[in-house]
Chains A and B, each alone.
Chain A
Amino acid sequence: MSETPARVGLFVTCLVDLFRPSVGFAAVKLLEDAGCTVEVPALQTCCGQPAYNSGDKADTKAIARQVIDAFENFDYVVVPSGSCGGMIKEHYPELFADEPAMFQRVQHLAKRTYELVSFLTDVRGIAQVDARYSGTVTYHDACSGLRELGVKQQPRKLLKTVSGLALKELPGAEICCGFGGTFCIKYPEISDKMVTDKAADIVATGADTLLAGDMGCLLNMAGKLARLGKTVRVRHVAEILAGVAENTPPIGAPEDAR
């Protein structure tokens, strides 16, 4: 593990802020355990993807400017989502390609921005976590983290060091679950069929727990599994790696479930 202290700005993401603060606190714990001091700028709201993917460039740029203002003075920006992380790292520079002064600032920010789990392994050199979880988990590779940021082995590497945990690979783990941000709003019927197929693949693994690194996909898959009456527990990977699963019920589960 890296001994150098680092000042990290946590980009919480709008879905963690709204639906599941536990994931944000799990991220804070993991980062502090990795020798970072964590701050959460209050000037953040969302990364701007809903506007960006709807073709609304003006609002996207305004939101991106807010993020750049709030985060550019940290050593690193860490995001518990490959989707929002990919937006800042890959797409912000494209947005300001025609504005040299902004482009420089945004590149500076993009270079320091990481998805949470890959930051822990690739930047902080974390090789194991101090956590327990009894169960067989399967892992869905959220699309943006996988294809834009190359997050694939990092979560598996750390999950294997959680005591009591068995990892069962999910066939088709790299196929989209059908969430797609604005896609599930515009084409709910197609989105629903996609997550139905995904749920069948998840159930077929026999795993009792489903993990992923993106809240959007997790809400989608948890919502489908719940509607189908399946008892698979759904959680963000950070909750397991931080060892805080017992503090909150799984996503979409009743308050007495743990």
Chain B
Amino acid sequence: MQPTSHAFKENAHQALGNANLQKALGLMRAGFPAKRLATIARLPEFEALREEGKAIKDHVLENLDFYLETFERNVVARGGKVHWCRTPQEAREAVLGICRALDAKTVTKGKSMIAEEIALNDYLEANAITPVETDLGEYIIQIRKEYPSHIIAPAIHLVKEQVAESFRETHKELDPGRVLTEAPTLVAEARTVLREKFLAADIGITGANFCIAETGSSIIVTNEGNGDLTQTLTKAHIVLASLEKIVPTLEDVSTILRLLARSATGQEFSTYTTVSTGPRRAEDTDGPAEYHVVFLDNGRSAMLGTEFQDMLRCIRCGACMNHCPVYATVGGHAYGWVYPGPMGAVLTPTLVGVAEAGHLPNASTFCGRCESVCPMKIPLPRMMRHWREREFERKLSPANYRAGLAAWAFLARRPALYHWAVSIATRVLGVAGRRRGRFRSLPLAGGWTAGRDMPAPEGQSFQSLWAERRRSGKAA
């Protein structure tokens, strides 16, 4: 997809006026954080687990080449194949190659953010292969021709009335008089429609929450079980993963799994945790005949050894966006590309460039809530600040903002001049605002005063009053 991150402000403006979106965001704001808090309160070792999880991932990132090669060796030993792809185009071609070799017409898909990152559906369709999303949220946005607004809840921007409307438009073969007012009815309808597609599909594509080096296995966690059907019923299972998904052992995965669902949805564990190791063996009753892992780099290896390396610890739980006050206000689509919220604000500039995505690391109040809930303790605000530094160095921020900042810094570096300027400003504003105590509008503060008043200064600066107090001998 074409990013619209450069239009973040306009996107956000639209989002603020979208009543359905605002209703959906209100539900999210009330839901995820409280559930997470309740679950971790029952796990006294949660903080210690965060440290353990972080240490595992840091170790992997220091030895990434070793674990990737170990993983490949073990995949091959079990009859599977690994495809190394530097770019989205290489990854798309690898998937298409596998589909062509098996003469596939339809592929079912479990939820995969890498598939979104490489815009796989559009590419498959252009090559006469029909992709069918089987995760409910992904299915909903696929039929609506949208893209995910959240990394674990792709359709969280919608209310159920919108879903019902889309189902009526798409499932024309069903009784038009059916009642679709409740969520369970919608789930049941999707399940029925999708069952047919599972049975008809040639190839199943899933993402991977983890790739385990010691066994050559991939793991997905889901709540719907759609991933299991996707990968076991078809001729081939294609796993899409990015390099940093690697974890050394099953033991390590079990540590991180204890963090993942609790941070994501507030569940202790997802309903399904599925481990896939190689293709179907002779003694297996089911499973795919081929097992492929398509590994995407897309700029990630270039993050190693930079101030952005910590970002590669991300396990895509979504806790940062669930707790972000800016995300909760504008929703995920405003961010203009695949990854929204705080993790997107750090990752998107890496993947599409800071010139396109420069707004994202700026659109944060640095409230720090994302870092405080991140199970991998990723210093998200600090990395957003690193992006701002790069932007500043490259003079990418707006000229008027830079000029204002330079004028302020000129004064702030000259205390005597600064105090003189402040004492004048306080007097002028103090006199003008004294009666009402606030301003309804102020020059240069139109953004602020469009929706709020500006409280008036008291009339004299602290420094001038303090100097007076000392002159009159009252100082302690």
Minimal Cβ-Cβ distance residue in A for B16? A193
Other CB < 8 Å A-B pairs besides A20-B458, A40-B462, A226-B453, 6 of them? A19-B426, A186-B362, A222-B453, A224-B452, A226-B452, A249-B437
A192 touches B365 (CB 8 A): no
Residues of A within 8 A of B369 (CB): 143, 147, 174-176
Provide the bound-state CA to CA distance between A37 and B441, in Å. 41
Minimal Cβ-Cβ distance residue in A for B413? A62
Provide the bound-state CA to CA distance between A176 and B367, in Å. 6
B350: CB under 8 A from chain A? no
Q: How many A-B residue pairs have CB under 8 A?
A: 214
- B-contact 0/1 string along A89-111, CB 8 Å cutoff: 00000100000000000000000
Closest 8 CB pairs of A and B: A180-B365, A188-B447, A55-B392, A55-B388, A252-B455, A192-B451, A223-B452, A176-B367
B309: CB under 8 A from chain A? no
Contacts of A9-32 to chain B: CB distance below 8 A: 12, 14, 16-22, 24-25, 28, 32
A17 touches B405 (CB 8 A): no
Task: Return B346 CB to nearest CB of chain A, in Å.
Answer: 14
B448 touches A176 (CB 8 A): no
A17 touches B367 (CB 8 A): no
A54 touches B405 (CB 8 A): yes
A185: CB under 8 A from chain B? yes
Stretch of B105-113, B278-286, B324-332 with 4 or more beta carbons under 8 angstroms from chain A? B324-332
A190 touches B363 (CB 8 A): yes
Residues of A within 8 A of B371 (CB): 147
B146: CB under 8 A from chain A? no
Task: Return B184 CB to nearest CB of chain A, in Å.
Answer: 30
Provide the bound-state CA to CA distance between A48 and B409, in Å. 8
Provide the bound-state CA to CA distance between A43 and B460, in Å. 18
Residues of B within 8 A of A178 (CB): 325, 329, 365
B390: CB under 8 A from chain A? yes
Minimal Cβ-Cβ distance residue in B for A59? B409
Residues of B within 8 A of A121 (CB): none
Q: Which of B364, B367, B372, B419 has the most CB of A within 10 A?
A: B367
Known: A55-B389, A57-B389, A186-B362. A193 touches B329 (CB 8 A): yes
Q: Which of B13, B393, B419, B447 has the most CB of A within 10 A?
A: B447
A207: CB under 8 A from chain B? no
B462 touches A53 (CB 8 A): no
Contacts of A34-74 to chain B: CB distance below 8 A: 37-38, 40, 42-46, 48, 50-57, 59, 62-63, 66
A154: CB under 8 A from chain B? no
Q: Which of A16, A197, A252 has the most CB of B within 10 A?
A: A252
Minimal Cβ-Cβ distance residue in A for B326? A190
A219: CB under 8 A from chain B? yes
- A-contact 0/1 string along B296-336, CB 8 Å cutoff: 00000000000000000000000000000110011000000
Contacts of B435-473 to chain A: CB distance below 8 A: 435-438, 440, 447-448, 450-458, 460-463, 465-467
A179: CB under 8 A from chain B? yes
Provide the bound-state CA to CA distance between A183 and B366, in Å. 9
B132: CB under 8 A from chain A? no
B462 touches A21 (CB 8 A): yes
Contacts of B379-435 to chain A: CB distance below 8 A: 382, 385, 387-393, 397, 401, 405, 408-409, 411-413, 415, 418-419, 422, 425-426, 434-435
B12: CB under 8 A from chain A? yes
Which of A50, A57, A190 is B12 in contact with, Cβ under 8 Å? A190
19 contacts between A and B (CB under 8 A): A21-B460, A24-B462, A37-B476, A40-B463, A42-B415, A44-B415, A45-B419, A53-B366, A54-B397, A175-B325, A179-B365, A180-B365, A183-B365, A186-B362, A190-B363, A193-B16, A197-B329, A220-B452, A227-B451
B455 touches A18 (CB 8 A): no
Minimal Cβ-Cβ distance residue in A for B325? A176
Residues of A within 8 A of B451 (CB): 188-189, 192, 195-196, 224, 227
Chain B: residues with Cβ within 8 Å of the partner, total of: 66
A190 touches B16 (CB 8 A): yes
B35: CB under 8 A from chain A? no
B79: CB under 8 A from chain A? no
Provide the bound-state CA to CA distance between A49 and B462, in Å. 20
Provide the bound-state CA to CA distance between A229 and B291, in Å. 64
B160: CB under 8 A from chain A? no
Provide the bound-state CA to CA distance between A174 and B323, in Å. 11
B9: CB under 8 A from chain A? yes
Provide the bound-state CA to CA distance between A124 and B363, in Å. 38
Residues of B within 8 A of A255 (CB): 434-435, 437
B368: CB under 8 A from chain A? yes
Residues of A within 8 A of B425 (CB): 18
B9 touches A187 (CB 8 A): yes
Task: Return A202 CB to nearest CB of chain B, in Å.
Answer: 13
Task: Return B377 CB to nearest CB of chain A, in Å.
Answer: 13
A17 touches B363 (CB 8 A): no
Provide the bound-state CA to CA distance between A21 and B425, in Å. 14
Provide the bound-state CA to CA distance between A258 and B8, in Å. 42
Provide the bound-state CA to CA distance between A16 and B460, in Å. 11
A184: CB under 8 A from chain B? yes
Minimal Cβ-Cβ distance residue in B for A32? B476
A144: CB under 8 A from chain B? yes
A208: CB under 8 A from chain B? no
Residues of A within 8 A of B448 (CB): 184-185, 188, 223
Minimal Cβ-Cβ distance residue in A for B417? A45
Contacts of A111-145 to chain B: CB distance below 8 A: 143-144
Residues of A within 8 A of B437 (CB): 226, 249, 252-255, 257
A75: CB under 8 A from chain B? no
A45 touches B411 (CB 8 A): yes
- A-contact 0/1 string along B108-127, CB 8 Å cutoff: 00000000000000000000
Which of A42, A148, A196, A248 is B458 in contact with, Cβ under 8 Å? A248
- B-contact 0/1 string along A158-198, CB 8 Å cutoff: 00000000000000001110111101111111111111110
Contacts of B52-82 to chain A: CB distance below 8 A: none
B461 touches A51 (CB 8 A): no
Which of B413, B422, B454 is A63 in contact with, Cβ under 8 Å? B413
Residues of A within 8 A of B13 (CB): 189
Task: Return B224 CB to nearest CB of chain A, in Å.
Answer: 31
Provide the bound-state CA to CA distance between A88 and B467, in Å. 25
Residues of A within 8 A of B413 (CB): 45, 59, 62-63, 66
Residues of B within 8 A of A6 (CB): none
